[in-house]
Chains A and B, each alone.
Chain A
Amino acid sequence: MNSIFDNRRWFFPLVLVLAAAWIVLTAFINPPPTQNRPAAARQGFPAPQISLTSFDSSSISLSDFQGQVVIVNFWASWCPPCRTEMPAMQAVYEEFGHYGVTILAVNASNQDDPLAARRFITERGLTFPILEDLTGATARTYQVSALPTTFFIDRKGIISKVIYGGPLAEALLRAEITRLVKEQP
């Protein structure tokens, strides 16, 4: 190391010049990948398709909400943080619904009691679409490894944020939704 320090008069500038050359060369020879990414449950990637039946028996797809801000929330009625964050979800849905904000609450029906889930929906007066993931396929596609897990999807269908765990603070929900609503489609 001392030999490097002794020769620093030419070594340090050489390092800087080589580093700058690498930056410029790689920008042209190996440019950063384009934004044409495959669908994946990851921030910055297009949201994977969701096509499920809701608790009121209507078929709902994520693509039905093209051009809107969508919050996809995976939940179960036995999960305490999921239950805690639902009133905040309902509050922001009522407040931001007319700005083109939708919440799709995907119930982990393959590991939940449908009666308990229905009772919870009625008790809390939830009015946003609540979907049944009977086989757990959608949760697997979204790589959900804990409940709740929440995905914020912008108007272009790109996932802008993923929150593992909960309960989500209402302030965070509002901050994210406000930011996404302001973005141009």
Chain B
Amino acid sequence: MLPILNLGPLAIQTPGLILLIGVWIGLTQAEKYARFLKIDSDHIYSLSLLTMVAGIFGARLSFAAQNPAAFQNNWTGLFSLTLQMMDTFGGGVIGLLAAFIYGQRKGLPFWKTLDVFTPGFAVLAIAFGFAQLSSGDAFGAPANLPWSIHLWGEWRHPSQIYFILSAGLIALLVWPRSGSRFNPSGVRFLVWIGSSALARIFLETFRGDSPILIESLRSSQITAWLILAGALVLLNRRLTHNNILPEAQTPQSNPE
């Protein structure tokens, strides 16, 4: 665990630095894949930038809307550089909304654009795992195993490492390469999101910080199951609408 990286007089927040590197590599991959899929990479760059800027502003405004008293006599606080004054959910919603509007205005193909970003998302997920490892977030449940790590006063499952490994495997699965067939457009993205949700359902069991919905049911698993169900429904629809029919209806299947 290394939440702060001390470089001379500078104290750098390691998780933030790792995420920044992840965003940079992810964006580079997205731009590269956009050229391959014959989508204007400038649009992809602008879309990413707009989403991030709208997300940051949205996160701060959403935080302020939830804590109006804190800013009542101190409105300049709205422009403070403090990263903790951000509401992730609000920022995410506003960022995605901005991205959707930009995509519509520029006539970007919805599913193909999501496919373009999929390798980037896969890289970002790995970076997210390393960021959690450095901050000690998403820690594991207490466990006495040969590979347990000592964290927050106990031996625990290295849940962050489990997550990094699963994100790495999923990245390998959806990474664009010759021979991998993800047709029609959108399938690559849906496979990534579905696999990630499935991994979350499995790995959440080993977490020590799971919020509980009712009784012992973990709310993250329920959310992940709903995302998985949505991804499979959309995947089925994408495949069916493009005349890629289930085996029962096709005389010859063409396994990958």
List residues of A whose CB falls within 8 A of some B CB. Answer: 1-3, 5-9, 12, 15-16, 19-20, 22-24, 26-28, 30-33, 37-40, 42, 44-45, 145-147, 161, 163-165, 168-172, 174-175, 178-179
What per-residue 1/0 map shows which CB atoms of B1-38 lie under 8 Å from chain A?
01110100001010000000000000000000000000
Q: When the two chains form their complex, are residues A39 and B153 in contact, meaning their CB atoms are under 8 A apart? A: yes
Chain A CB within 8 A of B104 CB:
no
Taking A8-B239, A27-B215, A145-B6 as contacts, is the C-beta distance between A37 and B152 under 8 angstroms? yes
CB distance from A46 to the nearest CB of B (A): 10
Point out the residues of chain A lying under 8 angstroms from B209, CB to CB. Answer: 44
Taking A145-B3, A172-B70, A175-B70 as contacts, is the C-beta distance between A2 and B254 under 8 angstroms? yes
Q: When the two chains form their complex, are residues B217 and A23 in contact, meaning their CB atoms are under 8 A apart? A: yes
Question: Can you list 14 residue pairs at the A/B interface with Cβ under 8 Å?
Answer: A2-B253, A2-B256, A6-B254, A15-B228, A23-B218, A23-B221, A37-B153, A42-B152, A145-B2, A163-B82, A169-B82, A171-B64, A172-B82, A178-B69
Point out the residues of chain A lying under 8 angstroms from B182, CB to CB. Answer: 1
Q: How many residues of B contact A (CB 8 A)?
A: 63
List residues of B whose CB falls within 8 A of some A CB. Answer: 2-4, 6, 11, 13, 63-64, 67, 69-71, 74, 77-78, 80, 82, 84-85, 136, 139, 141-142, 152-154, 173, 180-182, 187, 191, 198, 201-202, 205, 207-210, 212, 215-218, 221-222, 225, 228-229, 232, 235-236, 239, 244, 246-248, 250, 253-256
Known pairs A32-B207, A171-B77 / 15 extra A-B pairs, C-beta < 8 Å: A3-B253, A8-B239, A15-B232, A16-B225, A27-B215, A32-B212, A33-B141, A39-B153, A163-B84, A165-B4, A169-B80, A171-B64, A171-B71, A172-B85, A174-B74
Chain B: which residue is nearest A165 at the CB level? B11
Point out the residues of chain A lying under 8 angstroms from B239, CB to CB. Answer: 5, 8
> CA A18 – CA B147 in complex, angstroms?
27
CB distance from B189 to the nearest CB of A (A): 14
Q: When the two chains form their complex, are residues A12 and B254 in contact, meaning their CB atoms are under 8 A apart? A: no
Chain B: which residue is nearest A177 at the CB level? B70
> CA A170 – CA B239 in complex, angstroms?
53
Point out the residues of chain B lying under 8 angstroms from A147, CB to CB. Answer: 11
- Picked from A19, A33, A39, A145, the residue with its CB within 8 Å of the CB of B201 is A19
Q: When the two chains form their complex, are residues A30 and B205 in contact, meaning their CB atoms are under 8 A apart? A: yes
Number of A-B contacts (CB under 8 A): 149
Chain A: which residue is nearest B1 at the CB level? A143
Chain A: which residue is nearest B253 at the CB level? A6
Taking A12-B232, A19-B201 as contacts, is the C-beta distance between A171 and B153 under 8 angstroms? no
Q: When the two chains form their complex, are residues B153 and A12 in contact, meaning their CB atoms are under 8 A apart? A: no
Q: When the two chains form their complex, are residues A178 and B225 in contact, meaning their CB atoms are under 8 A apart? A: no
> CA A26 – CA B224 in complex, angstroms?
15
Chain A: which residue is nearest B140 at the CB level? A33
Q: When the two chains form their complex, are residues B11 and A146 in contact, meaning their CB atoms are under 8 A apart? A: yes
Taking A19-B201, A169-B80, A171-B85 as contacts, is the C-beta distance between A32 and B248 under 8 angstroms? no
Point out the residues of chain B lying under 8 angstroms from A168, CB to CB. Answer: 82
- Picked from B69, B201, B208, B247, the residue with its CB within 8 Å of the CB of A22 is B201
CB distance from B214 to the nearest CB of A (A): 9
Q: When the two chains form their complex, are residues B222 and A23 in contact, meaning their CB atoms are under 8 A apart? A: yes
Q: When the two chains form their complex, are residues A9 and B246 in contact, meaning their CB atoms are under 8 A apart? A: yes
Counting chain A CB atoms within 10 Å of each CB, the highest count among B11, B173, B208, B221 belongs to B11
